[in-house]
Amino acid sequence: MFFVAGARNTKFREVDILDKKKTVTALKPGEDRAILLGLGMILSSVMMYFVLGITILRSYADSVWTEEGVCIVLNSTVTADMNCSYSCGSDCWRISRYPCLQVYVSVNNTGRVSRLSHNEETRDASSECFYVPRCQKDSTAMHAMILNISERLKANQQVPCYYDPSEQQEMTLLIRLYDHSAVFHSLLWPSCTLAGGALIIMMVKLTQYLSRLCEEIGKLKT
């Protein structure tokens, strides 16, 4: 009876060892795929950080319009018509015209009068006009758009704006292309991807550590 019981116990141990080996063998490919997924997420987040660094973050860092204030609209008038070109097909460009709206404001009731521009892109495209619409064939539509903007500015009188505290740039901006909120939201998703990839790798390593720990405890019991 003793030998039969010993043989059965040995057989059960062998079956248990085989089951553990099968489980470990099945886990390894899954762990490898999880680690590759984590590394892929980390790599993609690094690439997104790089792209954001040469686009949004650079524009945000180079901008001198860092102080937010209140601008009182002093004058909003259409001065002249400006030329622009629009595409009419392959290698075809035609000329259209839009009205140039000039807006002068007083920043924070300081008596400092400056010209208001819509954003950095508008300022780079035209240093004279508040807003540069997308050029199109229908110049009447662009004219109506500019007049609507002018009437809104006259009705509001006070608008939030951004200005250069060092006063090196006389022009002020109505909005910034990339403010604090835009930078935060642009960095949110790469940061979540990076944290998710690192968490996956940490979980796999923790699982492997606990598996080895259980094997060592099992060996000590036997």
DSSP H helical segments within 55-127, as ranges? Answer: 56-62, 120-125
Exposure pattern of 167-190 as b/e (b: 16+ CB <10 Å)?
Answer: eeeeebbbebebeeeebeebeeeb
Which of the two residues, 39 and 32, has the higher pLDDT score?
A: 39
- pLDDT of the residue at 157: 81
pLDDT higher than 60, residue 15: no
CA atoms of 163 and 106, how far apart (whole Å): 11
* Percentage of the chain lying above the pLDDT 90 cut: 15
Average pLDDT over residues 56-80: 84
* 41 sits in which H/E element: helix 2-54
Indicate the pLDDT class of residue 27, thresholds 50, 70 and 90: low
pLDDT higher than 80, residue 126: no
CA atoms of 141 and 86, how far apart (whole Å): 14
- pLDDT of the residue at 218: 75
- pLDDT of the residue at 195: 93
φ and ψ of 203, to 5 deg: -65, -40
- pLDDT of the residue at 222: 63
Q: How many CB atoms lie within 10 A of CB 126?
A: 16
CA atoms of 132 and 135, how far apart (whole Å): 8
pLDDT higher than 70, residue 8: no
Among 116, 206, 198, 213, which Cα is nearest to 163's?
116
Burial class from Cβ neighbours inside 10 Å (0-12, 13-18, 19+) for residue 213 reads: exposed
Burial class from Cβ neighbours inside 10 Å (0-12, 13-18, 19+) for residue 122 reads: buried
For the chain, the domains span 65-179
- And the tokens for 5? 């019981």
Average pLDDT over residues 157-166: 86
Q: Considering the entire predicted model, what is its pTM?
A: 0.63
CA atoms of 122 and 145, how far apart (whole Å): 15
CA atoms of 117 and 101, how far apart (whole Å): 10
Which of the two residues, 221 and 189, has the higher pLDDT score?
A: 189
Q: How many CB atoms lie within 10 A of CB 55?
A: 12
Which of the two residues, 221 and 68, has the higher pLDDT score?
A: 68
Indicate the pLDDT class of residue 56, thresholds 50, 70 and 90: confident
- pLDDT of the residue at 3: 40
pLDDT higher than 80, residue 10: no
Indicate the pLDDT class of residue 4, thresholds 50, 70 and 90: very low
